[in-house]
Amino acid sequence: MHHLLKIGLLLLAFLLVPPATGRLDASSEGGHGGDSKKSEKKGDKKEAGKAVDGVIDLGPVTVNVLSNRGFRFLRLSMQVQCETNEEAERLTLPDAKEDLVFFLSSKMAEDLLGNPGKMILRRDLTELFSKYAGAGKVKNIFFTEFVFQ
């Protein structure tokens, strides 16, 4: 009976979570990330994967994270602020995306639920992204979506 409950919960989670497309760049074609026009300045047309004033949108990315209760899903979107547009756009390279997925999927859900965990995650992501943008080039990370299921 316990196994049927687990299977039912996994099936429900599978049906409720949209499929990950493997893309980390924000799309202007709707979706679950909110109104993408909110982050644009008036008159600016922001293209997916393009930085504006050194800021680039990454996400949403959905990964399995470890939990004391089995696996959970983390859906994360963020804006990363770098010194230049070129540095920010390096974060959309395939190897940077892969490193992000591997990094996030190695985290424990319980460690990320509170604000201290999110602050540590921000620090760790800054270190990870500095590998691609350059040492000291990542100025800040702003989480725009942080959802567990």
* Phi then psi dihedrals of residue 24, to 5 deg: -110, -10
CA 36/CA 119 separation, integer angstroms: 24
More confident: 137 or 149: 137
Segments making up each domain of the chain, as ranges: 19-32+46-148
- Predicted TM-score (pTM) of the model is 0.68
CA dihedral 128, 133, 137, 142 (to 10 degrees): -60
Fold of 19-32+46-148: Tetrahydropterin Synthase; Chain A (3.30.479)
More confident: 61 or 11: 61
Express each pLDDT in 71-100 by its tens digit: 899 999 999 999 999 999 999 999 999 999
The two most distant CA atoms of the chain are separated, in Å, by 58
Q: Where are the beta strands (DSSP E) in 9-106?
A: 55-67, 70-82
**C-alpha separations of 134 from 12, 49, 61 in Å:** 41, 18, 23
